[in-house]
Amino acid sequence: MIEVAGLQKRFGDNTVLRSIDLRVARGEVVALIGPSGSGKSTLLRCLNLLVVPDGGTVRMGERRFDFGGGDALPGTGALAKFRATTGMVFQQFNLFPHRTALQNVMEGPLTVRRMAKPQAEALARELLDKVGLSDKAEQYPSRLSGGQKQRVAIARALAMQPEMMLFDEATSALDPELVGEVLGVMQSLAAEGMTMVIVTHEIAFAREVADRVVFLRDGVIVEDGPARQVIDTPRQDATRAFLSHFH
């Protein structure tokens, strides 16, 4: 589905990703874990070129981008097209405050996909139903809980019919009692076969739902393996030390 090789990213003289090789197969769920500042968000954003790498390649199906080899950088049109193939959910919900849940979910299909209004509305209602919010379609974000807002954000990302979903600490800003409802939606997406890369501190969830866990430290992949193996019996001392904080 997506493959990156030799991926590098610097911010000024801060090298944040050092030479990342990562392959995510269609239908696979990969959890990305690691300390604060290790480069998880940057790597996730490089996967859909929201952050443009300084070196390496990003390949998704037939589309392939090479960076840092002297080739011209992809134009904004090519970048936008590539980004539209993935849905991204952030820690902050970023819903449009003056639009209802339904209007938030319809927005992308209407403006980007140029879908007719009845179709966009039918799709949005179907997706709100899928995230358990059919009864909140007409509510404004200010009237929704954090967990509900985040589920609208997931429905909104799904409305673009992405080939892959990226989650960056989607539950970190939520009150503890609201985390489960969002993880539940993510779990059912995984069960349906959605390709997903999830940055998370929810280690139990990663162990349960992910196929693979990738441990990143200082911009380097230290360990990459089957979820239960990495979490229960990590091979690297650094992984063990990191995971010990969660017990």
Residues at the interface with Mg ion (CB under 5 A):
40-41
Residue whose CB is less far from Mg ion, 20 or 128: 20
136 binds ligand ATP (CB under 6 A): no
CB of 196 to ligand ATP, least distance (A): 17
CB of 143 to ligand ATP, least distance (A): 29
109 binds ligand ATP (CB under 6 A): no
DSSP letters of the chain? -EEEEEEEEEETTEEEEEEEEEEE-TT-EEEEE--TTSSHHHHHHHHTTSS--SEEEEEETTEEEEESSSPPPPPHHHHHHHHTTEEEE-SS----TTS-HHHHHHHHHHHTS---HHHHHHHHHHHHHHTT-GGGTT--GGGS-HHHHHHHHHHHHHTT--SEEEEESTTTTS-HHHHHHHHHHHHHHHHTT-EEEEE-S-HHHHHHH-SEEEEEETTEEEEEEEHHHHHHS-SSHHHHHHHGGG-
Which of Mg ion, ligand ATP, none interacts with 16 (beta carbon under 5 to 8 A by kind)? ligand ATP
14, 76, 142, 244: which one binds ligand ATP (CB under 6 A): 14
Residue whose CB is less far from ligand ATP, 34 or 141: 34
Site for ligand ATP in 174-233 (CB under 6 A): none
Residue whose CB is less far from Mg ion, 67 or 90: 90
Element (H, E) at 24: strand 14-24
Residue whose CB is less far from ligand ATP, 121 or 169: 169
170 binds ligand ATP (CB under 6 A): no
11 binds ligand ATP (CB under 6 A): yes
Site for ligand ATP in 24-53 (CB under 6 A): 34, 36-42
> Which positions touch ligand ATP (CB under 6 A)?
11, 14, 16, 34, 36-42
